[in-house]
Amino acid sequence: MTGAWRDTALTRALGMELPIVLGAFGGLSSVALTAAVSNAGGLGSFGLYGYDAERIRATALALREHTGRPFVLNLWLPSGDQNPQTDDSSFRAWLAPLEPYFAELGIALPIQPPRYLPDFDEQFDALLNARPAVASFVFGVPSERQIEQLHSVGTRVIGTATTVAEGRALAAAGVDAVIATGFEAGGHRVSFLAEPENSLIGLLALVPQLVDAVDVPVIAAGGIADARGVAAALTLGASAAQLGTAFLVCTESAISDAHRSRILGADTESTDAESTVLTRFFSGRLARGIPNRMLRELESSGTAPAPFPVQNWLTAHVKAEAARRGDSELMSLWAGQAAPLVRQRDAAELVGALARGTDALLP
């Protein structure tokens, strides 16, 4: 007999079997992982950061070939100048702190591109045409028009909040659910009403406050890696628990072997993930990951990182080559604070373990 905890406002709305959600990994998502989580009864998510319209269409098609169940497509809302163009001297100044890593890896220095990111309107139109069960957004509030368009094609809308004020803004705009992401979460801090450094609220405090403040389902994210975390999130009033790092190390993930090893501590006596840090040096935006040589050297260099998305575009060249070579010292190692709890397994195996464990903890 299954527990009543499986029946929540979110599972009823989306036809899910389990209130378990895969975090949307911008740049690290895979069709196999997203589909596996949905097929196992949860809600798979796919991050579309940096994808142009054609790639979004292809991704949606591939997902539908692998699952007939609901899934999420996620976009980053534009904020600030998404494609800054400056003179050569400014670009060279941004590139200068990273030049030693290009030299170390033997790769050519890049030249300033025409664009750093695809046009958001084109991304949104492709998302709209894809008609996923759910569209989720980070770094802001979708416009009322965008929400209306998505609703008109049967797509539910989820926004992401790091504070109660952000959650209220999202609910007021008409989203169908809000992800409450605590500071424990790995990857980018997606704050938008205040600087992320001033929006570092833990999940234990954030979820019940947000549940009380909005009249839509709340999804808890950040620091959840096992059934105890799922049970705690639901007990606090959340309608689902979202896991990131626990799924990031699954066999279907697009993560590199070097990144996975650092999270799991496979090459050390104790996992490096015991001491994650927040930094802007890998992307220009505040994000949580495992420290390595590149991060320590950049932080001690006395120079500030380039603004987003320039820093992210510049470091991407280094990170991609380092991943190809298996060099974990020269890549961003995104991970949340609960990383020491995770174990490598198939996604379906993880979802099953979460379900059985939560059954044992909740009625």
Contact indicator for 315, 98 with CB cutoff of 8 Å: yes
DSSP 3-state of 164? helix
Nearest CA-CA partner of 156 in 12, 5, 8, 347: 12
Running DSSP on this structure, what letter comes out for residue 341?
A: G
> What are the CA-CA distances from residue 279 to residues 33, 199, 289 (Å)?
27, 14, 8
**Digitized pLDDT (tens) for each residue of the chain, 363 residues in all:** 578 999 999 999 999 999 999 999 988 999 999 999 999 999 999 999 999 999 999 999 999 999 999 999 999 999 887 888 888 899 999 999 999 999 999 999 999 999 999 999 999 999 999 999 999 999 999 999 999 999 999 999 999 999 999 999 999 999 999 999 999 999 999 999 999 999 999 999 999 999 999 999 999 999 999 999 999 999 999 999 999 999 999 999 999 999 999 999 854 444 565 789 999 999 999 999 999 999 999 999 999 999 999 999 999 999 999 999 999 999 999 999 999 999 999 999 999 999 999 999 998
* Contacts of 79-83 spanning 24+ positions with Cβ under 8 A: 79/139, 79/140, 79/192, 80/307, 80/308, 81/307, 82/116, 82/117, 82/120, 82/309, 83/115, 83/116, 83/117, 83/309
* Contacts of 261-270 spanning 24+ positions with Cβ under 8 A: 261/328, 262/290, 262/292, 262/328, 262/333, 262/335, 263/290, 263/333, 263/335, 263/339, 263/342, 264/342, 264/343, 264/344, 265/340
pLDDT of residue 348: 98
Q: Domains of the chain by range and CATH? A: 1-81+117-251+346-363 (3.20.20.70), 83-116+253-341 (no CATH)
